Amino acid sequence: MAEVSYLVFQDIEKRFSSREGKGQVAAVQNVNLQIEQGELITLLGPSGCGKTTTLRMVAGFESPSRGEILLAGERINQKPPHRREMAMVFQSYALFPHLSVFENVAYGLRLRSLLEIEVRKRVLEVLELVGLEGLEHRPPQQLSGGQQQRVALARALVLQPKVLLMDEPLSNLDAKLREQMRTEIRRIQQTLGITTLYVTHDQAEAMTLADRIVIMHRGQIEQVDVPTQIYQRPASAFVADFIGQSNLLPARVVGREGEVWIIQALEQTFRLPSTALARPLAIGEAAQLLIRPEAVCLHPRGSLRAGVQRATYLGPIVEYELTLGTQLLTVVDRDPLRPRIYPVGAEVNFDFLPGCLYLLPA
Ligand SMILES: Nc1ncnc2c1ncn2[C@@H]1O[C@H](COP(=O)(O)OP(=O)(O)OP(=O)(O)O)[C@@H](O)[C@H]1O
Ligand SMILES: [Mg+2]
């Protein structure tokens, strides 16, 4: 028998009655996904794309309108939340203000009527894991935002859930703390080897945390892949645009010589290997050429030429907006030896780094 994945979504759909009271709207549709044990999957996408709804169906707070959710081969659609052995961490930490850190974390264990000595052992272990040792007697309001989020995480982990669900857990923290906490979350997740579904709309967070990223758009999955593939080989213009900065130039397929495709864009001809195409296209078909800002290489002998419309100095990099006819081109220049910043109005020469071009359907 084929090996089954740990957590499986089979053709999941969730419809809600529309808020205007007219018929139904699909919040999630055609979702098929296989998650392996110990994987950290981030669900990434714009507001309203169905991330929270997906997570809530796994937790059992919503039931799918169609399709199956399987955990370790068992269908769990009808299983009530408290019997799924999952734990969820929310954006609002939802701590009990009148209980100490220790009692907040111990809460779920007490409902299971464990021996006091066992409760103590498990709570102290998990507090150490999340870096809160010594703070167990404090009330939550005497903790920083980051520490409160650690309590929320500890409270989830102490239950030793089969799956950890996190819905934008860091969005209430400032940028610096968010970066620190995401490294911490990754460390803890890997220490425990716990299967995790992590919702975010922050692409840097999704990239640094994930084994694989699921990009959602209007209730559907656009792409599931490891971060490098999502960035370098996006499945659609939506993904390309959503992850990182992108220049999408109007292009056309004009010919093909075996595994080499001849593409026209910016009145130039480019030769791309088949691997640089999101999918095979017909000769004559319109397309979009994806060029990441760092793949534009400024140098005096470059064969293309454009005017500087905007120059932003950011220390290690300079960001330019170039105009080339009606086309705008975002460029990130990180040459530490370049003596000066090109001023607005200057004309610059450049080339595209070969091997960094990618062709998407129009
Ligand atoms: N209980 C509900 N009743 C009706 N519509 C709902 C309900 N819950 C969610 N929706 C709709 O389903 C869609 C997906 O919502 P969801 O909360 O899953 O999005 P999200 O990706 O988590 O967005 P955000 O990033 O803003 O949190 C939205 O259009 C939302 O309005
Ligand atoms: Mg949400």
CA–CA dist 175, 200 (Å, integer):
14
- d(CA 251, ligand 2 centre) in Å: 36
| pLDDT for residue 93 | 83
Between 114 and 223, the more confident residue is 223
CA–CA dist 278, 239 (Å, integer):
12
Residue linked to tokens 């299967």: 195
The token pair at 275 is 């691997």
Element holding 45 (H helix, E strand):
none
Nearest ligand to the C-alpha atom of residue 62: 1
Q: Examine the fold and report which residue of 200, 233, 266 is the final residue of a domain before the chain moves on.
A: 233
Q: Examine the fold and report which residue of 180, 204, 233 is the final residue of a domain before the chain moves on.
A: 233
Regarding whether 306 and 328 lie in a shared domain, the answer is yes
Q: Give the tens place of pLDDT for each residue, 100-124.
A: 999 999 999 998 888 999 999 999 9
User: Based on the structure, what is the number of domains in the chain?
Assistant: 2
- Mean pLDDT, the chain, rounded, equals 93
Regarding whether 209 and 287 lie in a shared domain, the answer is no
Take atom 30 of ligand 1 and give the residue whose Cα is closest. 48
The token pair at 189 is 């997740």
- Minimum-distance ligand 1 atom for the alpha carbon of 199: 22
User: 47 CB under 6 A from ligand 1?
Assistant: yes
Query: Is the residue at 240 inside a domain?
Result: no
| DSSP letters spanning 338-353 | --SPPPTT-EEEEEEP
Q: Give the tens place of pLDDT for each residue, 145-156.
A: 899 999 999 999
The token pair at 136 is 């167990």
Amino acid making up residue 253: V
What's the mean pLDDT in 251-262? Answer: 96
Report DSSP state, residue 91.
S
Q: Give the tens place of pLDDT for each residue, 26-51.
A: 999 999 999 999 999 999 999 999 99
Of 61-65, 208-212, 315-319, 333-337, least confident by mean pLDDT is 333-337
- Distances from the Cα of 190 to the Cα of 38, 40, 48, 195, angstroms: 8, 9, 30, 9
Q: Give the tens place of pLDDT for each residue, 227-241.
A: 999 999 999 999 999
CA–CA dist 59, 70 (Å, integer):
12
Mutation pick for ligand 1 pocket among 14, 16, 19, 44 (CB with most ligand atoms within 8 Å): 16
Query: Is the residue at 1 inside a domain?
Result: no
| pLDDT for residue 2 | 56
Give me the domain span that covers residue 180.
7-233
Q: Give the tens place of pLDDT for each residue, 159-189.
A: 999 999 999 999 888 888 899 999 999 999 9
Regarding whether 191 and 288 lie in a shared domain, the answer is no
Regarding whether 86 and 14 lie in a shared domain, the answer is yes
The half-sphere exposure of 238 on its side-chain side, counting CA atoms within 13 A, is 12
Angle at 229 between CA 208 and CA 327, to 5 degrees: 100
Range 167-203 burial, b when 16+ CB lie within 10 A, else e: bbbbebbeeebbeebbebbbebbeebebbbbbbbbbb
Regarding whether 172 and 262 lie in a shared domain, the answer is no
What's the mean pLDDT in 315-319? Answer: 90
